[in-house]
Chain A
Amino acid sequence: MDKIGIVSYGANIPRWRIKTEDIASVWGKDGKTISKGLGINEKSVPSMDQDTATISVEATRAALKRCSINPQDIGAIYIGSESHPYAVKPTGTIVGEAIGATPDLMVADYEFACKAGTAAIQSCCALVKAGMIKYGLAVGADTSQAAPGDALEYSASAGGAAFIIGSENVVANINHTYSCTSDTPDFWRRAQRKYPAHGGRFTGAPAYFKHITHCSTNLMNIAKTKPEEYDYAIFHQPNGKFPVSIARKLGFTHDQIKQGLIVPYIGNTYSGASLVGLASVLDVAKPGDRIFLTSYGSGAGSDGFDLSVTEKMNDLSRENAPSVFQMVEDKEYIDYGTYAKVTDLLYWE
């Protein structure tokens, strides 16, 4: 049987940015200290007409521009997000229609904090492997919100990435995938609440670090690999510090993670975070490159992937859509007033 993996990919990042220092000054905090402490210089902000559906559609259209598959051959769409525009009416229905994949396909929305998108990739892999579909579309996208003045306000941002999974013309084989899950209340949002709540310091050691370490270590045991065998590594990036720290603990170098470390420039795109990082790596990866990725979703769990870039990467028309770093550079700054208006902060819960 053919190897299963990524056939094409695309990302989308809204153009607006707000600087960490501009948010800090509103709350009387020292912006430079916060920016340095979080490792975030600025974050992306969606305009009033952008949401998880529009970001998912644009990211998927970018993926379709890069390859020549017929959207009618997409047999499943799973959209991972914690900011689906509707509580009831799947984002995948809008995406499916907008990319011309309807009506003969499976669709469902996924939700697992910041790892719903990687969970979607795993489901697509399994369906392809079972022979139930030819191609599957997995998307991780968010327009995440944080309460005004909350620590998360400096990081919660918008963006996403889309991956077409299949077994023909695979540009990156998924050699192995592994997941771990536990009941860890580090971050949550209750039903019908606008803003999430978090367990403060509880988000670090017992949550992010424990799960990513467990998942990454087991994945390397299964794949029989060591950190130095990878050309690139991507870890979930809720801020600029955690991924750098976990990479060092696991034995990866800064050179291995820097291409996929996007959070300093656009903030935490939640379900999009590790996947925008993967898209950035695929922007530059060459045949033979090996990629390691571990996502993290609060609640909590991690999904790990061991990927190998194939010769088919040379046939992918990567230039047909903007690279992640081109989108990072294509930006327009807004002030806190505009930010408050577009993100509905003026309508307090």
Chain B
Amino acid sequence: MGCEGVARFWREIPQRYNFIGNKCGSCKRIFFPPRESCPYCRRKSMGNMKEIKLNGKGEIVTYTIIHVSSEDFEDQVPYPIAIVKLDEGPQITAQIVDCNIDDVKIGMKVESTFRKIRQDGSTGAIYYGYKFKKVNKQ
């Protein structure tokens, strides 16, 4: 990833660090990642999309264990990737960390944790963002 990649990642910092999505002012649907306009209301939603901070909590809808990954994640295999349905509704794909692979279950409650996502080799930028871990009862 060159400068192009750095710029794209930088633009996505609000969503990657702080779960900033948006909400259609017309139908009230919530989107994450945020969208330019609402696909349901189209023109009616133009200029009517409001930023909203999601709480970063949700539930595993389904998951898979990655055994063969892209080069960036080779040293982490095997690791679980899940589709997480956020409390506010949107579904996202994310890595599940801090648990044994066998403990990952559909329906498991998860919360976000701030992690290193990727780095451009040993000299490039480091990209941070969310992953998910099991909600620990205290």
Contact = CB atoms under 8 A, between A and B. Distances in A.
A332 B126 CA distance: 26
Given A49-B97, A97-B17, A100-B18, A326 B138 contact: yes
Interface string A87-106: 00000001001101000000
B138 A319 contact: yes
Interface string A53-89: 1100110010000000000000000000000011000
Interface of A: 15, 47-51, 53-54, 57-58, 61, 85-86, 94, 97-98, 100, 319, 322, 326, 330, 332, 341-342
Nearest to B73: A48
Nearest to A46: B116
Given A15-B98, A319-B138, A332-B100, A49 B117 contact: yes
B24 to A, nearest CB: 24
B128 A94 contact: yes
Nearest to B13: A97
Given A49-B116, A54-B113, 8 more contacts: A48-B76, A49-B117, A49-B131, A51-B116, A58-B114, A61-B114, A322-B138, A342-B75
Interface string B94-106: 0001101000000
B128 A54 contact: yes
A319 B138 CA distance: 7
Contacts of A94: 128
Interface of B: 13, 17-18, 75-76, 97-98, 100, 113-117, 126, 128, 131, 136, 138
A85 B136 contact: no
B104 to A, nearest CB: 14
Contacts of A330: 136
Contacts of B136: 322, 330
Contact of A98 (B75, B128, B131): B128
Nearest to A58: B114
Contacts of B98: 15
Contacts of A319: 138
Contacts of B138: 319, 322, 326
Contact of A53 (B97, B100, B128, B131): B128
Contacts of B114: 54, 57-58, 61, 98
B10 to A, nearest CB: 10
